Amino acid sequence: MTPSIVIVNWNAGAALDACLESVAADRTTGAEVIVVDNASTDGSTGAATAARPWVRVVATGANLGFAAGANRGAAAATGDVLVFLNPDARVLPGAVRTLVDTLALVPGAGIAGGGLVGERGEWQPAAARFAPVAHLLLDTTPGRLPARVRRTPHRVDWVYGTFMAVRRDLFRQLGGFDTRYFVYGEDMDLCHRAAAIGARTIHVPAARAIHGRNLSAAQRFGRDREAEVVKGEMRFYAGRRQARDLRVFRIVGAGKFGLKAALAAVSGRPVAASTYARVVRACVGFDPAAADG
pLDDT in tens, 171-204: 999 999 999 999 999 999 999 999 999 999 999 9
Q: Output the pTM of the full model.
A: 0.94
Domains in the chain (CATH in brackets) are 3-213 (3.90.550.10), 220-291 (no CATH)
238-274 burial by CB neighbour count: b if 16+ within 10 A, else e? bbbbeeebbebbbebbbebbbebbeebeeeeeeebbe
State the number of CA atoms in the 13 A half-sphere of 123 facing the CB. Answer: 14
Tell me which residue of 239, 217, 216 sits closest to 227, measured CA to CA. Answer: 217
Mean pLDDT to the nearest integer, 3-19: 96
Q: How many helices (H) and strands (E) does the chain have?
A: 13, 12
137 CB neighbour count, 10 Å cutoff: 14
Which secondary structure element, helix H or strand E, spans residue 159, and what is its range? strand 158-159
Picking from 230, 239, 228, the residue whose alpha carbon sits closest to that of residue 293 is 239
pLDDT in tens, 63-101: 999 999 999 999 999 999 999 999 999 999 999 999 999
Distance, in Å, from the CA atom of 164 to the CA atom of 9, rounded to the nearest integer, reads 16
- 136-145, 179-188, 275-284, range with the lowest pLDDT: 136-145
Query: Is the pLDDT confidence value at 287 over 90?
Result: no
Going by their DSSP bridges, the two strands 109-117 and 89-91 should be labelled as: unpaired
pLDDT at 45 over 70: yes
